[in-house]
A and B are shown apart, each in its own frame.
Chain A
Amino acid sequence: MSEWWTYTLSDFLLFSPRTYYRLFELHNAELWPAHFVAVAGGIAVLVLAKRGGPAAGRAAAAMLALAWASVAWAFLWQRYATINWAASWLAPAFVVQALLFGLFAMRPRGLALASGPASLVRPGLAVAACGILAYPLVSVALGRGIAAAEVFGMVPDPTVFATLGILVLAAPAARVALLPIPLAWCALTGATLWTMGSPEWWLLPAAAVLAIAAAIRQRRGA
């Protein structure tokens, strides 16, 4: 791309904020009441993360694999790709993440949750809980209404947000394998929302910073 320095983020934004948030309204309307299943699954992941241990680590990994696969197919591929051709490349990345979680689900210790310093457990659980329980309320707080709520396991941002929280609790090996794609998504969605002028643009990048800080702290503590 010649004269690449003349391009700004807005040159790559193909859609209006109105169209973007309408995606969530349409998605929610079409999949209702699957939201209860998705949130229940998220709460189960939280409980498993709190409990820790090999079985919980395997089960949590399996549930996160399902969440990422579901987002890849139902949202990115079927819906987001209708307004953003780049989503047809993002969906496979989510599938890769789902497969990685699937691999960890088959390992004896799973994600080896709560294997790090105890001081990381609460922040990790808090971030995951925010992604699962509080993230849908962002839409309400910003005046877009509950109809456009973003729900864990159904759309990317809350799913990635919660995933980062869970990975704060995971063993270093799991983090090395499972952090890159969520971190890349945080950068992408942060840039997209910032370009659209959405006030919540910083949420995912902040969660990414927390996950990175936790990884550094655990490594230094190791």
Chain B
Amino acid sequence: MSSGRPIGTDVHRRRILGAAIAAVVAPMVSPSVAIAQRGPVAARPIPSTGEAMPVVGLGTWITFNVGNDPVARDACAEVMRTFFAAGGRMIDSSPMYGSSQPVIGHGLRKLGRPAQLFSAEKVWVGSGARGRAQMEESRRHWDVPRFDLMQVHNLLAWQEHLPILFEMKAAGRIRYVGITTSEGRRHNEIEEVMRKHPLDFVQLSYNILDREAEERLLPLARDRGIAVIANRPFREGALVQALERHPLPAWAAEIDAATWAQVVLKFIVTHPAVTCVIPATTRVAHVRENLDAARGRLPDEAMRKRMIAHVEKL
């Protein structure tokens, strides 16, 4: 169980977790972004470089697809402002997500392009020949010089895209290469890709109820030194809605979780192979809540088992 001391100052805890929830990172914010004063967020190193990544990122599936609505675009910018101010870095999107990319670009311009941004994008087109043009269009939408991470979305035409991504990485046009899947699909195929190619990142669905990835993919990621991004942590909100029908258990206080959402996030980010989780939201209060899940005490293995047993009974 947790020791009661904040993560990052408790070497013993890190040993128990068996993970490299690394050193705590002080938020590296740009002057235009206010720094939150609620303590630092936990971070983990990206295995291939050691670069520290805060364990909670920001997804944009559905939530940032607001079209040309100026009010909603500004609301998304405020979500981003809060995210960066709270110490967040990774924002993840895809050409599949409707207008999410230009909405992110709007937010980044409005915030003065925060220096700590870690841009995670995807290529999502059925042929490698069209991949370069799509990635360039995505870059223009974000209005960034280059992407930090480029992933093959849902394994679509990965045989054609991956060589191009590795070539782009070698040329310094992206920093990391990854591949994604969601909701437990095509795990055999993604396992094969992980085994045969020098990936920096893999993105997959993982949460307290959807734990199929624990069987092979997460151990493999650890063995191969591949960073893991956990998507759909809340099953698009349905998981937290279901959990919120029940009172928060007393043990939540032992891991400094004030809400069910924080329980779910703390569970995910304490799997030793997980690098970060990317919950999506449209609400500033939820961004703070999500980032706060990366602060304070985190569950150890015994507590994780207790959490699973409790949630599965509900």
Instruction: List chain A positions with a Cβ less than 8 A from chain B.
Output: 2-3, 6, 10-11, 13-16, 18-19, 22-23, 26, 79, 82-85
Interface residues of B in 177-194 (CB under 8 A from A): 183-186
Q: Is the CB of A6 within 8 A of B67?
A: no
Q: Is the CB of A85 within 8 A of B69?
A: no
Q: Is the CB of B186 within 8 A of A2?
A: yes
Q: Is the CB of B185 within 8 A of A19?
A: no
Q: Is the CB of B99 within 8 A of A13?
A: no
Decide yes or no: A19 and B69 within 8 Å by CB, A13-B62, A84-B98 being known contacts: yes
Q: CA A26 – CA B66 in complex, angstroms?
A: 12
Nearest-neighbour CB distance to chain A for B283, whole angstroms, equals 11
Q: List 18 A-B contacts (CB under 8 A).
A: A3-B185, A3-B186, A6-B184, A13-B62, A14-B62, A14-B65, A14-B97, A16-B63, A16-B65, A18-B282, A26-B69, A79-B67, A79-B68, A82-B67, A83-B65, A83-B66, A84-B98, A85-B98
Q: Is the CB of A22 within 8 A of B69?
A: yes
Pick the most buried of B66, B67, B72, B282: most chain A CB atoms within 10 A of its CB.
B67
Q: Is B236 an interface residue (CB 8 A)?
A: yes
Q: Is the CB of B62 within 8 A of A16?
A: yes
Q: Is the CB of B236 within 8 A of A19?
A: no
Q: CA A26 – CA B69 in complex, angstroms?
A: 7
Q: Is the CB of B185 within 8 A of A15?
A: no
Nearest-neighbour CB distance to chain B for A12, whole angstroms, equals 10
Q: Which residue of A lies closest to B185 (CB)?
A: A3
Nearest-neighbour CB distance to chain B for A20, whole angstroms, equals 10
B63, B68, B282: the one within 8 Å of A82 (CB): B68
Q: Is the CB of B67 within 8 A of A23?
A: yes
Decide yes or no: A22 and B62 within 8 Å by CB, A6-B185, A82-B99 being known contacts: no
A83 contact set on B, CB distance < 8 A: 65-67, 98-99
A79 contact set on B, CB distance < 8 A: 67-68
Q: CA A147 – CA B97 in complex, angstroms?
A: 27
Kindly list 14 other residue pairs between chains A and B, CB separation below 8 angstroms, not including A6-B183, A19-B69, A82-B99: A2-B186, A6-B185, A11-B183, A13-B62, A14-B62, A14-B98, A16-B63, A18-B282, A22-B66, A22-B67, A26-B68, A82-B68, A83-B66, A83-B98
Nearest-neighbour CB distance to chain B for A10, whole angstroms, equals 7
Decide yes or no: A10 and B236 within 8 Å by CB, A16-B282, A83-B98, A84-B98 being known contacts: yes
B67 contact set on A, CB distance < 8 A: 19, 22-23, 79, 82-83
Pick the most buried of A2, A15, A23: most chain B CB atoms within 10 A of its CB.
A15
Q: CA A13 – CA B68 in complex, angstroms?
A: 18
Decide yes or no: A19 and B186 within 8 Å by CB, A10-B236, A82-B99, A83-B98 being known contacts: no
B185 contact set on A, CB distance < 8 A: 2-3, 6
1/0 per position for B239-263, CB-CB distance to A under 8 A? 0000000000000000000000000
B63 contact set on A, CB distance < 8 A: 16
Q: CA A19 – CA B100 in complex, angstroms?
A: 12
Nearest-neighbour CB distance to chain B for A215, whole angstroms, equals 36
1/0 per position for B60-80, CB-CB distance to A under 8 A? 001101111100100000000
- 5 pairs of A and B residues whose beta carbons are closest in the complex: A82-B67, A83-B67, A83-B98, A14-B98, A3-B185
B62, B68, B96, B236: the one within 8 Å of A15 (CB): B62
B65, B96, B183, B184: the one within 8 Å of A19 (CB): B65
Interface residues of B in 36-78 (CB under 8 A from A): 62-63, 65-69, 72
B97 contact set on A, CB distance < 8 A: 14
Q: CA A6 – CA B186 in complex, angstroms?
A: 11
A19 contact set on B, CB distance < 8 A: 65-67, 69, 72
Q: Is the CB of B69 within 8 A of A15?
A: no
A3 contact set on B, CB distance < 8 A: 185-186
